[in-house]
């Protein structure tokens, strides 16, 4: 089961029009949390709650991107990427969640889009990357249907503002995380621990996705739109029937629950039955027309992929009755995630075969390792560099195997606020000194930049 660790990507294996990018999200990098009309988000509240975030840290300043926009856009241009994925902060645009819009917030993202286009970089905004306005959480949050409807209104505002220039849209980032980590096990904002709430939230997040697709279609004719799901292949720890069944349950929980409805199959019945009273169906939340809205045709599927799940049957352990297993001989990242590049290829081929999306993008992929600036001003992050090499090679293998791979976004452009881990976990290909805000291109960033030169020229390795 140990994953291969040595494969290098061949730039010549990627088509000339392949999308190469870097990715960030609003709360993780922007800062300016109390400026220009931005209201409080659930993450501001969560960070202010003792014991929720490592070292009591928060995104008040983060990478100060809000004030360093032009220099950060120059930094992105210097990497040689042709696309930049960012997210729009709902609390900046509609501070009360619904109703009046905030011109200063819209202007910031308009400047961001214009700055990217002026530098020859394609903007890829994500409408929701977890920073729900706190006022909407106070009214019920994602377990309440009204939040999905409010998202539809917010999506209408943003797409009307930027739709003349933005031709690629992502509706929702990682609904599994927003639903389960936020409302199921409580390690993310708003910190609730209720299984039924988490699956109510999952349904309304998917409904919001469908409403977001409608907004893009109305306000940005000809633009491409899709959703980003965090997916991980589920593998049994052994060949036993019990472990295979456990892997199928894990796949239902992490993957099929979101893929099936987005691609018009409705919710997987085996998992509806497993959830019982906690299912949105049993709660009476799936209303006529919902599944049709969720299954609105999309132009691509975004996939955030970091690792895989290897599980064994463990009766009575959690509602899934399974346990995650460490694989002997495998390498693990700072988040204790297995480095499993072959599983990326497996996943993309499975998605193409089972769901046949029009295009597949890796919208996040990366790894945390401890690193620091050396005395000579360099950041040697060889493990992260190898991670990118292996996973980009795996994308090439998926492409060769028939998956409609159209792009790859490295996570992340820069070290940032890593949610409940505060500033302890670093994903960036650019190092950030959070005291001085100095940016330093890491070895991994240098490798990615140099690889992209060859990839865009179609040269062999």
* Catalytic residue ranges: 174, 364
The H-assigned helical ranges of 94-191 are 103-118, 134-138, 145-162, 175-176, 182-183
Query: How far, in Å, CA of 81 to CA of 65, rounded?
Result: 19
Q: Which two tokens stand for residue 77?
A: 């241009």
Residue 364 β-bridge partners: 304
Query: How far, in Å, CA of 210 to CA of 216, rounded?
Result: 10
> The sheet that has 309-313: what strands, in order across it?
234-236, 309-313, 322-324
Q: Which two tokens stand for residue 34?
A: 């109390």
Distance from chain centroid for Cα 211? 19
Q: Left, alpha or beta for 116 (phi > 0: left; psi -120 to 50: alpha)?
A: alpha
Residue 348 parent element (H or E): helix 341-355
Span between the terminal Cα atoms of the chain, in Å: 28
Give strand ranges (E) for 43-145.
Answer: 83-87, 122-128
Q: Which two tokens stand for residue 296?
A: 């609105």
C-alpha torsion sign, points 37, 40, 44, 49: positive
- Longest Cα–Cα distance of the chain, Å, equals 63
């Amino acid at each position: 089961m140990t994953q291969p660790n040595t494969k290098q990507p061949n730039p010549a294996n990627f088509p000339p029009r392949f999308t190469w990018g870097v990715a960030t999200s609003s709360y993780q990098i922007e800062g300016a949390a109390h400026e220009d009309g931005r209201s409080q988000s659930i993450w501001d509240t969560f960070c202010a709650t003792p014991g929720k975030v490592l070292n009591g840290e928060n995104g008040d300043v983060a990478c100060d991107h809000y004030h360093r926009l032009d220099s950060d856009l120059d930094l992105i241009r210097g990497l040689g990427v042709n696309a930049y994925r960012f997210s729009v902060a709902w609390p900046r645009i509609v501070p009360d969640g619904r109703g009046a819009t905030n011109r200063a917030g819209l202007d910031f993202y308009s400047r961001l889009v214009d700055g990217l286009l002026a530098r020859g970089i394609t903007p890829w905004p994500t409408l929701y990357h977890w920073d729900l306005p706190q006022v909407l959480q106070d009214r019920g949050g994602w377990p309440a249907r009204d939040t999905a409807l409010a998202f539809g209104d917010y999506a209408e505002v943003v797409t009307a503002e930027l739709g003349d220039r933005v031709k690629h849209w992502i509706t929702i980032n990682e609904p599994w995380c927003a639903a389960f980590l936020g409302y199921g096990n409580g390690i993310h904002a708003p910190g609730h621990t209720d299984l039924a709430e988490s699956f109510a939230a999952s349904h309304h997040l998917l409904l919001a996705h469908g409403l977001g697709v409608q907004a893009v279609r109305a306000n940005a004719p000809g633009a491409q739109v899709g959703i980003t799901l965090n997916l991980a292949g589920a593998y049994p720890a052994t060949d036993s029937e019990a472990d295979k069944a456990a892997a199928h349950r894990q796949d239902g929980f992490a993957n099929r629950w979101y893929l099936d409805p987005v691609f018009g199959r409705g919710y997987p019945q085996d998992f509806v039955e497993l959830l019982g009273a906690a299912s949105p169906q049993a709660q009476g939340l799936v209303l006529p027309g919902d599944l049709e809205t969720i299954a609105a045709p999309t132009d691509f599927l975004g996939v955030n992929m970091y690792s895989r799940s290897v599980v064994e049957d463990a009766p009575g352990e959690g509602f899934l009755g399974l346990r995650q297993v460490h694989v002997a001989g495998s390498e693990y990242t700072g988040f204790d995630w297995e480095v499993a590049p072959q599983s990326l290829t497996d996943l993309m081929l499975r998605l193409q075969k089972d769901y046949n999306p029009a295009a597949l993008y890796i919208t996040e992929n990366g790894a945390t390792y401890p690193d620091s600036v050396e005395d000579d001003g360099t950041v040697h992050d060889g493990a992260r560099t190898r991670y990118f090499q292996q996973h980009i090679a795996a994308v090439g293998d998926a492409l060769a195997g028939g998956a409609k791979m159209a792009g790859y976004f490295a996570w992340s452009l820069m070290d940032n606020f890593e949610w409940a881990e505060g500033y302890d976990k670093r994903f960036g290909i650019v190092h950030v000194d959070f005291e001085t805000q100095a940016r330093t291109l890491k070895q991994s960033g240098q490798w990615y930049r140099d690889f992209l030169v060859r990839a865009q020229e179609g040269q062999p390795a």
